[in-house]
Amino acid sequence: MAELTIGQEVPDFTLPASSGEDVTLSGFRGRKVVLYFYPKDMTEACTKEACSFRDSHPILEAKGAVVLGVSPDPVKSHGKFTEKYGLPFLLLSDEDHRVSEMYGVWQLKKMYGREYMGIVRSTFLIDEEGKLLKEWRNVRVKGHTEDVLAALG
């Protein structure tokens, strides 16, 4: 698992986005970034999380933050998810889970006695210079967006 330290520069990456373009994290320098990793499009908890960020998007923008969601789903799935729920932010496709591994969120999970590798729901708040301000790991969706808003000040 990757160790990220508060105040340290976060790993840069480029991934394909729901918009059809490739997006590079360092392209958002000068703005705060709410980078959230989630397991799967169209699932109950992931939909609640995405819709919570959607509903708070005007406040997040007013606080100078951009939201980026990352999951292993393909771009086509992200496009459907974005369209169905009117998501105003980009979803990035990490199909080979390279970026998820860099951030230490690709881990062994257990469900119904079965073990498998997958994304552990996590959020990283990155400052205007690309440094880690705060991280939330093993996120519970309820109240999470409010925690992120509070951290933005």
Query: Catalytic pick from 10, 33, 46, 125?
Result: 46
46 is catalytic: yes
Place of tokens 């199909």: 95
Closest CA to 93 of 112, 123, 71, 116: 71
Q: Which long-range contacts (CB under 8 A, 24 or more apart) does 113-122 make?
A: 118/39, 118/72, 119/37, 119/38, 119/39, 119/70, 119/71, 119/72, 120/37, 121/36, 121/37, 121/38, 121/39, 121/45, 121/46, 121/49, 122/36, 122/37
Active site residues: 46
